[in-house]
Amino acid sequence: MSAPRREPSAEAVATLADREAIRAELSAYFEALGRRDWERIADGFAPGASLDYGTPGVRDVEGNLRLLRAGVERLTSVSTLLGMQSRVLAQGDAARSETAAFTAHLAAGMGPKRMRVSFVRYEDAWQRSPDGRWRVCERRVHADVKGWIDPA
């Protein structure tokens, strides 16, 4: 005889829904990056968010997106594979996540084709916005491994 099945609490269901909503926001960010949808990318950040993409002195959303856009516009393709080990800890209207990603970007240009690959970790702090959506209020990006390869 099997043990009786217990229904999850409303709190457990809400926490699970929050984790999945944050994972969906992460996926939407990387999909928008590949489509060069700068409006959608900007909309994923809370007003006044602090971002550390590795450029000294640049912490605001506008400055980081300007640099990100300049870099992406020099590429012919942008691909990201999110790691399954994305951890999300949500409690109330605040959350933290750490997400691993593998990126492969094909550089544009007249010379031989080159591909930039990297293993990157995103450490994010999230807040639930008044509209119910989760938005990044703080991001720190760690490029653990990066380099150029010949895609052929």
Over residues 72-96, the pLDDT tens digits come to 888 777 778 777 667 899 999 999 9
The CATH class that applies to domain 10-149 reads alpha beta
Tell me what percent of the residues of the chain surpass a pLDDT of 90.
55
Average pLDDT, the chain: 89
Do 55 and 64 contact (CB within 8 A), yes or no? yes
Provide mean pLDDT across the span 19-48.
Answer: 94
Tell me what percent of the residues of the chain surpass a pLDDT of 70.
95
Alpha helices in the chain (DSSP H): 10-35, 38-43, 61-72
Residues 88 and 109: their CA atoms lie apart, in Å, by 39
Residue with tokens 């990318």: 41
Provide mean pLDDT across the span 126-131.
Answer: 96
pLDDT the model gives residue 84 = 61
